[in-house]
Structure 1
Amino acid sequence: MKALKKIAVGILILLLLLIVANFGLSYWVSKKLPSIIRNEKDFPYNVSYEDLDIDVLSGSFTMKNAYIAPKDSLEVKLQEGAFGKIKSISVEHFDILALLKDNRIKVKKVIIDTPEVTLYPRKKKYDTNEDLKPFKNAITTGSLEIRHGNFKMLDTLKGFILKASNIDFNLINIKIDSVTLDQNIPVRYRDYNFSCDSLFYRVDGFYNITAGKLASTDSTIAINNFKLVPKQDRVQFTKMMPKEKDQFAIVAEKINVPNADWGFFRDTLYVHSPEIALEKVNANIYRNKLPKDDLSRKKLYSEMLRSLKFDLKVDKLLLKNSLITYEEQIDFKRPPAKVSFSKFYATVSNIYSPVRKKKLPVTTIDAQCLFMKSTPLKVNWSFNTLDVSDSFTIKGHLQDIRSEEVNPVSKPLMNVTTSGDLNEVYFTFNGNRDRGTGDFAIRYDDLKVDIYDKDDLKKKKKLVTAIGNLLVKDDTKGKLKEVHIGVDRGKDKSVFNFLWRFVQEGLTQTVLPKPVAKIASKKMEKKNEKKKK
């Protein structure tokens, strides 16, 4: 009995000593931990909290109602740097010996609950290596978890730059030390999971990006309700432009990257993905002709890809059930001409940059849609990025074109409407950065034209219309009429303008008599030469 009593007393004393040691060490660590940060001269922030619960025996502590602010925040007139309020920071299984011996924090898991962080720009540029310098001797392992966070990046004068709500983030197997700080990505990790309920980003003075649910891992991205939204209306945008420029408005219901690999190889960024899918995209492109022409040379798509400075490799880009609309307006007195491509499905294969590649496969675009909501259109487009002549081939086929659908384009731009049946159009266009040639074929019946006054589109020019209908060949007698044509490229225009000029020349040579077609072609050439000058 006496032996049992001694053992029991010994155990009680040991437990008592452990409890005392726990409270003692907890108290000591609670004083030691903040002093590590406070005495770190390279750490630019003050950290405070209302309560700190430490349990040395279980190896955990919880910091409640923590606040972070730049050390010099009271000395500057405008707010600079990061300001944050955090409901709680929980740390599990921290290494006491590392803390006591080396002032290093080594833990298994960190949970940051409901952080509210606002970041303001500062005079000194953000430098990841400099900002993480205080942690060059600190190693954090395990995982970092952020729950229900909100992040804002603000310009003191211009408002929001970036905003994300209800952020959940999990970073696994993290390491930061003097070695990782010298890398392009200064934090070493195994994997991450990120999601937020909404996203706002101010791209520049003309556009904002918004998104609904966004979810991402180290190899996947999924975005719902993506929007690129203009900040100005069309009149404001046009008045702000010294030269002609397109205004974009783009909405995508879903963007999905199911598998991706990215990172750095010898300081070169690489982005690889076997597939990217965009669903129900509604893209509107608007151009007003009031500003001066932009005469700078425009790159074709092959040159754009060839000019990329990083390693891009996308095997397949899918565009599903989308709508693309182009609007062009001569002035605000008349409505814009509108060209639409609805129920648009496209597969773009082999989108590669030449970085770290000796050979490249041909890039192909296979698309089908409804032109002007009614006319089936199929297009095949191919080019090779490494071809410095930027040669390409575009093949197209339209059938059963309704005149009433084309008139909203031809009337405001050319003061012309048509009636009759345009049964089929085929074309094969082989072009490069200088010139394009190819074949154009059309079949139509009972074609008539009406010509309107350019200053009053409600007023028909009866005499000119009568003469025009005498000149126009009203049908092809049930056969395809084919011509071989060539056009020079206006290098200050896009590839789509190049294609349009080819189609326009094809229509001129198939619809008008040869003498009239030659006169029309020469007038078009002179008009283009004047624009170049």
Structure 2
Amino acid sequence: MKIKYLGLLVFIVILALVAVPVSNYFVKLKIEKALQNLPKHVDVCTKGILVDVVSGTLEFQDVLISVSDESSLEKVLKLNLKSILIEDIAYLEFVFKNKVRIEELAVDAPKIKYYKAGKQKKPTKAYEIPESPEVTIKNVQITNGAAQVLSLQNDSLLFDIKMFKLNVKDVSHKADKKNRIPVTFHDFDIVADSIQLNVGDWDRLFIAKAQLKQHTSVLKAVQLKTKYSKKELSKHIKTERDHFNLGVDSIVINEVDFGFKQDTIFYFTTNKTELHHLDFEIYRDKLVGDDPTIKSLYSKTLRELNFDINVKELQVLNGKITYEERVHSSGVPGEIFFTDFNATMSNINNTYAEGDKTVVNITTNFMDEAPLKAYSDFDINNKNDRFIFKAELGSFHVEKLNQFLVPNLNVKFEGVLHKTYFTIDGTTNHSSIDLITDFDGLRIDVLRKHERKKNKFLSAIANIFVKKTTENGDNVFAEAKRHDIKRDKTKSVFNFLWLNVKEGLLHAKN
């Protein structure tokens, strides 16, 4: 009897020893056959496939994936991978429940090249999710990755990451026609170095290092730069546009949430974002042809975004902003600048209800001399784009502005503004300003248009209304109230503010 059971046990052991390698062989054979039967525009090559049905492990070694356009057969994607390791596959769930459950998916050294075509037509029919099994992966890990996006037309570099690694927890995919991207996850950690990205035709974004997490993300050494030098840009453009050089030491983004709502609407939400040590240089060559396009106020720009945004608070800490304009072929461009620039912007949001507001508070030093405080608010639901802008300026020698005012507003100032307050109440079409100031020796010269010569007649009229010095004594200010100041919609928001301040100073009187 014992011999009978012993024989049965030996038979089972032998059967198991034979069944495991046989099962491994047939699973490997099935995978190889599936790879050979892929569509013609998809090609997958691998130097080795290792299968272990007992442990539920599957490994692909030295993988090359090539994808071409289905109609033109032009290259679209090229992907090299050192290895793909899949651990603890639940085979029974896949066979009997059409579900794929994986404990670990590890991808080593993926090198991705994606070739992007030009502008493509929008699909005429609604997006449809193809039928596919439900997939859950406990942990996805990618190490030593690199990625590039190139133009299909000329092979130029559009996007580049020298190195990235990724870890995502609890990834779940379930085909659902209600969700454009039917993938969910509970946590993620992405680290990337040396990122470059084309931003339109003229500018390029650089990020030295990025770490993206669900609760806090940090971008280090961020730069947004125009591809050309100031001189070269003017040769390439027909109408004026800004030359940018924006640098930020670090950007900290807290509590990020993003995704798609109602199948199509992308949304982005963050509780707080901080920009540390911002240095923003803006240059415009006014010798290039005018740009006649309508410039929207910030409320309209925010309202008309094609995605939902909700930044509850944005802080700019210890920044500097410089703006230059070249108006004459000879001479130095006019310049104004703000140092020790600190700003808090609340409720940058295009989904809030009517009556709520976006609010901006700024403290800075103007032209390395005068402390400046500013406040602004607007409601994105107001179709007239009404806004309020208030400012308080400390003691300031106004001749410092002449390098900018002379070419831009055709006026020249002399004197000292000891203290200046103003409120601008504006819409997309018009504005009014209420300005009060305490000054000494204020003089205004109105210049001839397109010349630097003084217009004696207009200057004399302007100075009749402007008192040279406010009266002695406490709380004595000159005041100006100007209404129906017409906005030139082809000019910037900044130009609109300057136009109001100019009107206020020209008509300030006791």
Q: TM-score, normalised by structure 1?
A: 0.82
Confirm whether residue 390 of structure 1 aligns to residue 385 of structure 2: yes
Match of 2:334 in 1: 337
Deviations 1:12-39 (A, max 9, x none): 6654443332222222222112222332
Report the CA distance shift for 1:417/1:215 in structure 2 as closer, same or farther (over 3 A): same
2:470 to 467, 476, 498: 476
| Alpha-carbon distance in structure 2 between the residues aligned to 1:359 and 1:474 | 46
Whether the 8 Å CA contact 2:433–2:504 is kept in 1: the answer is no
Report the CA distance shift for 1:232/1:386 in structure 2 as closer, same or farther (over 3 A): same
Deviations 1:154-193 (A, max 9, x none): 114141111112211123333335x236621133433332
Match of 1:69 in 2: 66
1:20 corresponds to which letter in structure 2? Answer: V
| Alpha-carbon distance in structure 1 between the residues aligned to 2:113 and 2:254 | 31
- Secondary structure of the residue aligned to 2:502 is helix
Whether the 8 Å CA contact 1:362–1:385 is kept in 2: the answer is yes
Deviations 1:240-263 (A, max 9, x none): 333332232222222222112222
| Alpha-carbon distance in structure 2 between the residues aligned to 1:449 and 1:27 | 92
| Alpha-carbon distance in structure 2 between the residues aligned to 1:469 and 1:46 | 77
- Secondary structure of the residue aligned to 2:328 is coil
| Alpha-carbon distance in structure 2 between the residues aligned to 1:404 and 1:113 | 63
| Alpha-carbon distance in structure 1 between the residues aligned to 2:6 and 2:117 | 63
| Alpha-carbon distance in structure 2 between the residues aligned to 1:84 and 1:358 | 46
Whether the 8 Å CA contact 2:300–2:385 is kept in 1: the answer is yes
**Structure that is richer in strand per residue:** 2
- Secondary structure of the residue aligned to 1:93 is strand
Match of 2:189 in 1: 193
Confirm whether residue 203 of structure 1 aligns to residue 191 of structure 2: no
Whether the 8 Å CA contact 2:105–2:137 is kept in 1: the answer is no
Whether the 8 Å CA contact 1:180–1:188 is kept in 2: the answer is no
| Alpha-carbon distance in structure 1 between the residues aligned to 2:26 and 2:97 | 16
| Alpha-carbon distance in structure 1 between the residues aligned to 2:296 and 2:448 | 36
Whether the 8 Å CA contact 2:388–2:424 is kept in 1: the answer is yes
Q: CA deviation at 1:473?
A: 4.6
Q: TM-score, normalised by structure 2?
A: 0.85
Q: CA deviation at 1:104?
A: 7.1
Q: CA deviation at 1:360?
A: 4.2
Match of 2:370 in 1: 375
Deviations 1:402-429 (A, max 9, x none): 3564344345556876554331221111
Higher deviation after alignment, 180-189 or 345-354? 180-189
2:115 to 95, 113, 120: 120
Deviations 1:430-453 (A, max 9, x none): 112222123112222244679999
2:423 to 422, 428, 434: 428
2:197 corresponds to which letter in structure 1? Answer: Y
Match of 1:346 in 2: 343
1:288 corresponds to which letter in structure 2? Answer: D
Deviations 1:280-319 (A, max 9, x none): 1212222222233333332222222232343332222111
1:244 corresponds to which letter in structure 2? Answer: E
1:509 corresponds to which letter in structure 2? Answer: H
Alpha carbon RMSD of aligned pairs, Å? 3.7
Deviations 1:87-126 (A, max 9, x none): 1111101133456679975422110011111111358889
| Alpha-carbon distance in structure 2 between the residues aligned to 1:10 and 1:332 | 100
Whether the 8 Å CA contact 1:314–1:349 is kept in 2: the answer is yes
Deviations 1:352-381 (A, max 9, x none): 214xx5434122111110111221000111
| Alpha-carbon distance in structure 2 between the residues aligned to 1:407 and 1:85 | 60
1:275 to 264, 272, 276: 272
Q: After superposition, where does 1:318-329 map in structure 2 within 5 Å?
A: 318-329=315-326
Higher deviation after alignment, 196-205 or 10-19? 10-19
Whether the 8 Å CA contact 2:443–2:463 is kept in 1: the answer is no
Confirm whether residue 18 of structure 1 aligns to residue 13 of structure 2: no
1:29 corresponds to which letter in structure 2? Answer: V
Higher deviation after alignment, 297-306 or 115-124? 115-124
Deviations 1:64-93 (A, max 9, x none): 1111113689x95xx511111111111101
Deviations 1:490-511 (A, max 9, x none): 2222332221111111221238
Report the CA distance shift for 1:358/1:405 in structure 2 as closer, same or farther (over 3 A): closer
1:476 corresponds to which letter in structure 2? Answer: T
Deviations 1:124-144 (A, max 9, x none): 8899x99985x7236343232
1:377 corresponds to which letter in structure 2? Answer: L
| Alpha-carbon distance in structure 2 between the residues aligned to 1:441 and 1:27 | 88
1:306 corresponds to which letter in structure 2? Answer: R
Deviations 1:310-368 (A, max 9, x none): 333222211111111111111332221111111111111122214xx543412211111
